[in-house]
Amino acid sequence: PSSLGSFKNIPHMSFDDAAREPEQTFALSRDVTGELEYPTKIARFSNVYHLSMHFPKNFGAETTKIFYIGLKGEWTEARRHEVTICSYEASANPADHKLEQITPQTHFIS
């Protein structure tokens, strides 16, 4: 490949999404030994939980073959906690929310 567009946090990316502006574009060089490194813009790649790579061009061949992609960086465990139980009420039902420490009081106005 001669070009690479990298996209972050698009889990179900399609080729239609590849038309968007990538986080970073790389102009790649021929690398027979696999030793070239390309620096990323660190500020654009913080908090990445999904990385997609699009290789739109090559050096003129009919097909593009990729044998190895190496990534460097610091891995941290995801700390996302998604909602597991959620109740939505249009109007609260007091019978569903009984608390033992609160005793109901009734006030009558005469």
In a domain, 89, yes or no: no
Q: What is the pLDDT along the chain (110 residues), one digit of tens a residue?
A: 999 999 999 988 999 989 999 999 999 998 888 888 998 888 888 888 889 999 999 999 998 888 888 888 877 776 766 766 666 666 767 777 666 665 566 666 65
Q: What is the number of domains present in the chain? A: 1
User: String of b and e for 1-27 (b: at least 16 CB within 10 Å)?
Assistant: bbebbbbbeeeebeeeebeeebbbebe
64, two tokens:
């593009």
Please tell me the predicted confidence (pLDDT) of residue 103: 59
Domain hosting residue 23, numbered range: 1-75
Residue 105, pLDDT score: 63
Whether residue 32 lies inside any domain: the answer is: yes
Instruction: Report yes or no on 67 lying in a domain.
Output: yes
Residue 58 lies in a domain: yes
Q: Is residue 41 a part of any domain in this protein?
A: yes
* 40 burial type by CB count under 10 A (0-12 exposed, 13-18 middle, 19+ buried): middle
Task: Kindly state whether residue 22 falls inside one of the protein's structural domains.
Answer: yes
The reported pLDDT for the residue numbered 65 is: 86
Report pLDDT for 76.
Answer: 76
